[in-house]
Structures are given as C-alpha cells and as structure tokens.
Amino acid sequence: MQSDSGNTVSVWMGTSKMPTFAALEEDLSCDVCIVGAGIVGLTAAYHLVRAGADVVILDDGPVCGGETSRTTAHLSCVLDDRFQWLEHVHGEQRVRESTASHMAAINRIESIVREEGIACEFERVPGYLFLGKRESPQFLDRELEAAKRAGLTDARRLERAPGLPWDSGPCLEFPMQAQFHPLKYLASVTRAIVAGGGRIFTGTHVDSIEGKPRRPQVKTRNKSVVTASSVIVATNSPISDYVETHVKMAAYRTFVIGAHIPKNSVPRALVWDTDDPYIYVRTTPLDDANDVLIVGGEDHKTGQKDDAPDRFRRLEEWTRRRYPMVQSVEYRWSGQVMEPADGFAMIGPNPDGAENVYLATADSGQGMTHGTIAGILLADLVRGKENPWAELYDPGRKSLGAIKDMLRENLNVAVQYTDWITPGESSFEDIPLGEGRLVRMGAHKVAAYRDDRGLLHLRDATCTHLRCIVDWNSAEKSWDCPCHGSRFSPEGRVLNGPALADLAPVSADVADRAGRRVHDEDVKERSRPQSQEDRYDR
Ligand code: FES
C-alpha cells in the first residue's frame, strides 16, 4: 500500500492493500466528522456507525497512510513506562484502571475480528519482559509486584523466556497479550464503516477546525466545508490544539527491521527489554515457508538526529547475535511515537475549550491499544454516553503537568531554538540527488531538496507551527521538526501535525542565489508566510 508518512515500507504496507477513496469536492453536513483515517479514527467511526451516527472521515493521505502503517502492532496491557513508575505518578487505582482499559481494547479487537470475520492473523500470545543493560534482577521483582497490584495477577517471574533461541535471563511473563496484522484488520474495519453508511474521503487536507458553539466546521484546502455536531481529531499529533497538548508530550522516531526466518522457528510472543529506549520483538506469518521476525528500538527525538543507517545496523547486529535463523533483512522502516509526560494517552475534549471538538494523541508506544481505547471512548463522548475511562485519559488532567520529565522535555525544545543561530550545514552545490540539506542564507535557513532530476526545491526551514528550524530525515525523505514533531515532505508539504501549513516558499532573491535549476513553485516574492495562528479560529 501507499504511505504518506515517509519513504520506507513496513512489513504491513508490503503485505496488504487498503481500500481507496476519492477526495472531498463538496460541502457536507453530518453527525460526526473525523479527521484522520488511522486506527483511532477508524475505530471511532466503526462504533459510531454501528450506533446509527452519520459519519464523515477526512484524511490528507490514503487510509492508514500515517503512523498506523508504521506500528509493530504489539497488543499489550504492559505499558512500556513500567508499572512501578506509573504507580509512582498516578497511584495504584489509576494504573489498575489503565491496565484494564488496555486489556479491554485487546478484547474489543478480538471481538471485532470475530464478528466481522476478519483474517488478520490475530492471536493471543504471551509477553516477556527481560532485563536490559541497566536494571538489576531486583527491578523485575519490584515490577512483578507492581504488575500484580495493577491487576495482572497471573504475571510471573521465569528464569528465562521459554522457546527463544537465546538466553533472555530472568524475565516476567504476561499471559493473554496479542498480536495481529494491523492493516488487514483495519482494511476490513474500513469496509464495515462504508457498509454501515460512513463516508470516507482521502487526499483531503484539513486547513482549519472551527469550534463553533453548536456545530463545529472543518474546512479543507480545496475550500470544502464539513459541518458536524462533533469533530474528532485523530491525526496522531492534534491539529486542533495549538500549544497545550504539545508541551505535554514529545515526539520520537523509532526504528524497525523485518527479517525473513523459517516458519515457526521462533515462538510467537511479544518480547521487550527494560532499557530506555527499549528493544521490542515479535513475529508475523508471511507465507507457507517463512515468518517475519520484527525487531524495533533505537529511538531518538524527532528531528534531532539523522543517522538511521547506524540504527538499522545496530538492530540487525542485535538480532543476528540472538536469532541465527535470520535469512535476510527485508524491511527497514521508522515510525513516530508521541510520548506523554505521564505515560497515559490524551483522549477527550480539546483542552483549549473548543466546543464539541475532541482529540486523541500521545500513544506512548502503545498505539494499537491506546488507539482502540480512543475509538471506544470518543465514540461514547460524542454521543453523551458515560465512559469509565473519561477522567483517566482527559487531556486536561493534572498529572500531565506535574512531573519533572515534562520540564526536561520542554528545556530540550527550548534548546532547539538555538538552531536559528547555528550555521546551516551545507551549500546548494553539495546536495546530492534525492537528498535535502539546510543552507543558511543571511538571516534565514533554507530547507533545500534536490530531486532525482537535479531540480532544487527550496522552502523556508522555519516550521509553521511554532517556528523551530526543521531538519532533514534521510531515511524517510522528510523535513522533521525537533520541537513538537511536525513533518514535511521533501518539497515542504505538511505530512504530520501539529503544523497545518506547508513550509513557506522562498523569495526570488534566495532562489537566484541558489542557481538556475530551482523549482518554480518554491519561489515567491518576499511576503509574510501565513502564520498558523491565522488558521485556528474559534
Ligand atoms: Fe512545533 Fe515545529 S512542531 S515548532
């Protein structure tokens, strides 16, 4: 399938086909407009359509063309922030509720798979948490106790994970976790939405969401307007909220390899270590002869490193040392993870008070379960139905602002603004075909990309969200913002929020100084680019 979020191809993209839809070309009215056709938007739509609501979904890429296609789809109630830390931040009761909500999400996926008859390789598997380089065996004992207090009374400590071709050392076992092929699942969910009367439009970029008192309006780049009783913003990083959610989470890139291995040569299980960033492992069936071993890790903050080949190499070394049956590495991809300050996703009313606008974000590396929780919870909220998870995931909750990690993340963001005064790394002549570089032009930095024909595409390197300087991501061929994770195509088209606007064109003066082979559309007379503030109107 096609992806709109990068250059690399995940095992899911390479082994599935998603339904396609036309762009929206007219004004519409509906009960619920959902912006974003990933797991959150599709799950919410599925539940709403079944409840009889008239639903319209808009996405600027194809269905599941964003981060949903880049997950590794571990379905787990074992949050990667670890139970001990979550208990410290939220207390026992809240962690118990959170754990139960993730288990409920897995159960709901299982019941949808069964009811819709979806062939998506869903299966229950155990999860194993083993020690990384930093933690002692006592860490596992403390984690086991915290897991039991969180409600996982059947968790247990083992001396090594059973069946693995390497010695994991002591580990915790969590029964009844699960795995599936996320795109095969969501392709069927999409068809069920359409069969139930839901309308889906792709290639439709949303320019603004106006939280009117009674009927919010969603306005698209091609000037269509969808008026709805409620709007759900399911865009991974919210485009309905300018600041508040974005200072309570941080964007990370995570890296994954997929290797062919002989069928059933590795036991089906979810495997994680305790490091930060941590390694995560699973398998997925490929054909009669082979499975794919999927190994992820090596995370870094979005836009703050560009060394993907080293990260893929280290993942492959780690894997080959432990899994001698690896035949060949066929997939290398990366994805974006939004890490909330307190470890729980933000799902609920838009925190700036826009009426009847709801959002879901901060997947915290548990995108499939947090995404399913969001779909269930938001479908209830827009229908005015009580849901026991509403307080737990409220984007306005206090715990999000109360911990030290948030201060550290925001200091890190503040440091990124020094990119304004550090030199650009390159000159126009140095840019190879198919690559991008930052080039300083007087007081400005230019995001310069040379396409495969040698034509230069020039854009102002200032992120259109809050004016950090973007940086080149050579693995995904994108411009990534180090502050809150916005991403742009090589030509400057916005791919991922919170930015709504494309990178601004450069002045004719800058283009002249770059030479003759400059793409015309990137050049405009010097004028103030449309600011993002202008695009939020409520
Ligand atoms: Fe916030 Fe770029 S994403 S400044």
Instruction: Give me the torsion for CA of 312, 315, 320, 326, rounded to 10°.
Output: -60
Q: Would the pLDDT of 152 be above 50?
A: yes
Q: Would the pLDDT of 405 be above 70?
A: no
For the beta carbon of residue 347, count every other beta carbon within 10 angstroms.
30
pLDDT attached to residue 328: 97
Average pLDDT on 447-468 reads 93
Average pLDDT on 94-114 reads 98
Average pLDDT on 513-535 reads 55
Question: Residue 534 — very low, low, confident or very high, per pLDDT cuts 50/70/90?
Answer: very low
| Bridge partner residues of 192 (DSSP) | none
SS3 466: coil
- Which atom number of ligand 1 is nearest to the Cα of residue 482? 2
Query: Tokens 């069928």 belong to which residue?
Result: 263
Which residue spans within 350-414 are E strands per DSSP? 357-361
Nearest to 153 by CA among 184, 186, 176: 176
Q: Would the pLDDT of 213 be above 80?
A: no
- Which atom number of ligand 1 is nearest to the Cα of residue 237? 3
Phi first, then psi: give them for residue 183, nearest 5 degrees.
-80, -35
* Residue 362 alpha carbon to ligand 1 centre in Å: 16
301 CB near ligand 1 (under 6 Å): no
CA distances (Å), origin 477, targets 37, 248, 448: 22, 27, 12
Cα–Cα distance for residue pair 210/217, rounded to 1 Å: 5
77: exposed, middle or buried (C-beta count within 10 Å: 0-12, 13-18, 19+)?
buried
Question: Residue 423 — very low, low, confident or very high, per pLDDT cuts 50/70/90?
Answer: low
- Which atom number of ligand 1 is nearest to the Cα of residue 486? 3
Nearest to 176 by CA among 99, 123, 97, 131: 123
Cα–Cα distance for residue pair 205/59, rounded to 1 Å: 6
Question: Residue 516 — very low, low, confident or very high, per pLDDT cuts 50/70/90?
Answer: low
pLDDT tens by residue, 464-507: 999 999 999 999 999 999 999 999 999 999 999 899 999 999 88
pLDDT attached to residue 2: 60
319 CB near ligand 1 (under 6 Å): no
335 CB near ligand 1 (under 6 Å): no
pTM of the model: 0.92
CATH number of 1-412: 3.50.50.60
Domain ranges of the chain: 1-412, 421-535
Q: Would the pLDDT of 140 be above 90?
A: yes
Nearest to 438 by CA among 460, 455, 417, 405: 460
Query: Tokens 């490193």 belong to which residue?
Result: 305
Average pLDDT on 416-433 reads 72
* Residue 480 alpha carbon to ligand 1 centre in Å: 9
- Which atom number of ligand 1 is nearest to the Cα of residue 246? 1
pLDDT tens by residue, 236-287: 999 888 888 898 999 999 999 999 999 999 999 999 999 988 999 999 999 9
- Which of the following CATH numbers is that of domain 421-535: 1.10.150.20, 2.102.10.10, 3.40.50.1980, 3.40.50.300? 2.102.10.10
Question: Residue 403 — very low, low, confident or very high, per pLDDT cuts 50/70/90?
Answer: low
Average pLDDT on 87-109 reads 97
497 CB near ligand 1 (under 6 Å): no
Q: Would the pLDDT of 450 be above 60?
A: yes
Question: Residue 133 — very low, low, confident or very high, per pLDDT cuts 50/70/90?
Answer: confident
Average pLDDT on 305-328 reads 96
Cα–Cα distance for residue pair 209/538, rounded to 1 Å: 8
Question: What residue owns the CA closest to ligand 1's atom 3?
Answer: 484
